[in-house]
Structure 1
């Protein structure tokens, strides 16, 4: 297959149609990469397709410009992500962005990374400058970022419509990759899926899904938050959303609801005042157990051996959501820790063991302890449970401890710019990673990601071979890079 290169443009003839992308330089490298933005993998989910399964995009005639990001499912600024993730208006939200150093070279057979963004399953955007694949291109990896339906439209239960429409969008995007990525220099048999937060939960959900196993061969989950919403909770949420809209909970009624009004009702229905409810009950909106795609909770699927042939790397930051307590240190210092943790749902014996297991955090004050508990309960317990559930399957665990953020701790999302090696991004880096984030840490983090994608392995001891073994990224110089039990402080919560 031959590319047509005119100045900065490059064309690729993929099975779904011919597209025109643009060459860009790669900082610190003589490797050029090409970006093909906003390629639709499914028809626009509007009208009768709004609550339908994704419909494959038919091949178009002529050359389709892929020079700008296409529409996103996210509307406006939800104000919940620490990553710059712009919203782009429009209807055709089911699209992919492809970054490649070898466009049109079908025999290049480069490994492929498919990135699923986070945002709690109701926010986020694949158009973030941080998700640009140029650094992975430099290292011989074709990169794809995926758009999918969000919120109630993507994940709400509606009688008469297929459940898990957002999950079906992920699968449709991966099917597009399988059928088209060779035209962009990628190898469809060497696909690694990765994501952060809800995106991390997405890739773990896919790992435990029998019907998705043929679409990828490796997984990296950053701060993965699975939902596994029960059928009962899904129906309850639907009834609540419908009640707030003043409609019957039917497909016909939901189809007629204005997009903005539906988002407002969704926000009202998922607004949790008591944090302990979220910590104990989990997310209210996201991938749901539907008896079709998700036949059981993800952990149960992993215990049953689903995905056991695929290498998995997973981990979390030390203080995912500690920033939520910023500015409350003086107020919380006067409230007994036992009372604070008790209100969060932590029982007396577990409180005693948890505090004894985390003396360094206790020394930082009550706000630090509560923030760490929230982070441990929401994210790090899931890391241990997931790694243990995999048994002998190839699994590597890490912790992210870089505390150079303005929050003074390793907060949610801080690992993403290091993972993508995009510290030179003109947007958002200092606000999250501080004014002088260390390039050496980016080299180590990104290098580990490349190793999994290219070699299906990691360079530290596996959890499956040495339970508890944890690579620590960004810790103090006196701490070992690999700890024998890097999640010891979390175990009292299990």
Structure 2
């Protein structure tokens, strides 16, 4: 195909100009909604105003992530500006409406309070190479996106996901994509978004398949959401309603929301205990409207059962965090530590017996695995079991990075995107990450997006069946019960 200097695509609000880079084109910073500022700050997303002429889509748009925290696991830049609700489209076939290529829509993570769709890891080049149109989306974060506000619509960040998916349905044909073949995917909070959308009646029909990496479900209870909102209002010195919160600058609320959600104790286990007891502070709330009930309950009731799903985690999502305090934990007997985290004695014995290899690595390793299992891996089993006969595939990412010796949080992302040469990958995966592993994981993703089959047997046909990516040489690629070590917690 002849490449012209400026690929131009006609979408609903007007024409956009992208840029060629090799065999595909990038259109970035396209608004799917108006800037959520002023009267629209705590409103549901509003479609963008049409524009005349050709709009440049050459630079990433503003991000809801306002401050760059520095050395994060994934480089996710903060870009200033008001128009934070935008999409980025990477396509090998721009302006070819008859191409009908499968589409990937990726939702970034960041605990629902951080993250950015402008990460170089999320560039769609490798998926474009394999014939997949790729879209990354933004959404409002933290209290602005998810906090309870009297007089404002609930779950504004969730409404942003829905608006972005509706934009894809209306416009992706112009980029060579097929609106009937849309796979949503995301990691961490983005994986939680995937499961939330899967179990949400209002999202049905907006996508045809789903892949959740290390899904961090929130399902914030209404009572907790109201309590956090009142606490935040008290810290800000305003009334706990829309008018009060609208009077507080955005950055001030961002700073105060951390204080509102922080545990009071200075105990090194306090952050883990808070997550185990209460879950994430900011994120999708069970509001009786968009989320009529908790996600797994909705999935068990059959919502999303016609949508193929792949889900899995890394083996040690949290262990790098507990590893930082391993010297303080070394003198603490592991059974006592688990008891402090309120794991009852019978389950404690069963869990330790099932995790003997981890126990040999010390108390910090066991606590990291326990937090990983409680917050991430047990939900894989619960979701897969809840889907009964629905097409469901489960995997584990077990390759241990030479940087810290763990298969930690975010480690799988550059392998899934097949972007091992991207900046800062070496910081978590070492200087020579195995390309064969990237080919295997990314290849499974492409196969699923294209054909709804990642390449191994379903959990629904044989519960426990798990594809293990990057395990030890003696471990089979497909385990008959790959999540057996978490059964004590299910």
TM-score bracket for this pair, using the shorter chain length: over 0.9
- Runs of 5+ unmatched residues, structure 2: none
> Residues 81 and 124 of structure 1 are in contact (CA less than 8 Å); yes or no, is this contact kept in structure 2?
no
Total equivalences in the alignment: 484
Matched, 1:72 2:63: yes
Q: Distance in 1 between matches of 2:214 and 2:18?
A: 32
Q: Sort the Cα spacing of 1:231 and 1:291 in 2 relative to 1 into closer, same or farther, 3 A.
A: same
Deviating above 4 A after TM superposition, structure 1's stretches of 4 or more consecutive aligned residues are 3-6
Q: Distance in 1 between matches of 2:479 and 2:243?
A: 55
The alpha-carbon deviation at position 424 of structure 1 amounts to: 1.3
Matched, 1:349 2:332: no
Helix, strand or coil at the partner of 2:7: strand
Helix, strand or coil at the partner of 1:418: helix
Q: Distance in 2 between matches of 1:345 and 1:428?
A: 37
Q: TM-score, normalised by structure 2?
A: 0.97
Matched, 1:187 2:178: yes
Q: Deviations over 1:408-455 (max 9, x none)?
A: 110000000000000011x11111111110100000000010111000
Q: Distance in 2 between matches of 1:208 and 1:281?
A: 21
Q: Sort the Cα spacing of 1:405 and 1:223 in 2 relative to 1 into closer, same or farther, 3 A.
A: farther
Q: TM-score, normalised by structure 1?
A: 0.96
> Residues 26 and 88 of structure 2 are in contact (CA less than 8 Å); yes or no, is this contact kept in structure 1?
yes
User: What does residue range 356-435 of structure 1 map to in structure 2 within 5 Å?
Assistant: 356-425=353-422, 427-435=423-431
The corresponding residue for 1:29 is: none
Give the counterpart of 2:456 among 452, 460, 467: 460
The corresponding residue for 2:192 is: 201
The corresponding residue for 1:304 is: 301
Give the counterpart of 1:277 among 274, 287, 308: 274
Q: Sort the Cα spacing of 1:232 and 1:90 in 2 relative to 1 into closer, same or farther, 3 A.
A: same
Q: Distance in 1 between matches of 2:393 and 2:324?
A: 35
Matched, 1:89 2:80: yes
- Runs of 5+ unmatched residues, structure 1: 26-31
Q: Deviations over 1:159-180 (max 9, x none)?
A: 1100000000000000000000
Q: Distance in 1 between matches of 2:71 and 2:373?
A: 20
The alpha-carbon deviation at position 82 of structure 1 amounts to: 1.0
Q: Distance in 1 between matches of 2:482 and 2:402?
A: 22
Q: Distance in 1 between matches of 2:322 and 2:222?
A: 33
Matched, 1:487 2:483: yes
Q: Distance in 2 between matches of 1:159 and 1:203?
A: 27
Give the counterpart of 1:48 among 39, 49, 53: 39
> Residues 101 and 140 of structure 1 are in contact (CA less than 8 Å); yes or no, is this contact kept in structure 2?
yes
Q: Distance in 1 between matches of 2:220 and 2:192?
A: 12
Matched, 1:136 2:127: yes
Q: Distance in 1 between matches of 2:475 and 2:145?
A: 43
Q: Distance in 1 between matches of 2:295 and 2:72?
A: 25
**Bigger mean CA offset, 371-380 vs 270-279:** 270-279
> Residues 80 and 119 of structure 1 are in contact (CA less than 8 Å); yes or no, is this contact kept in structure 2?
no
The corresponding residue for 2:112 is: 121
The alpha-carbon deviation at position 6 of structure 1 amounts to: 4.2
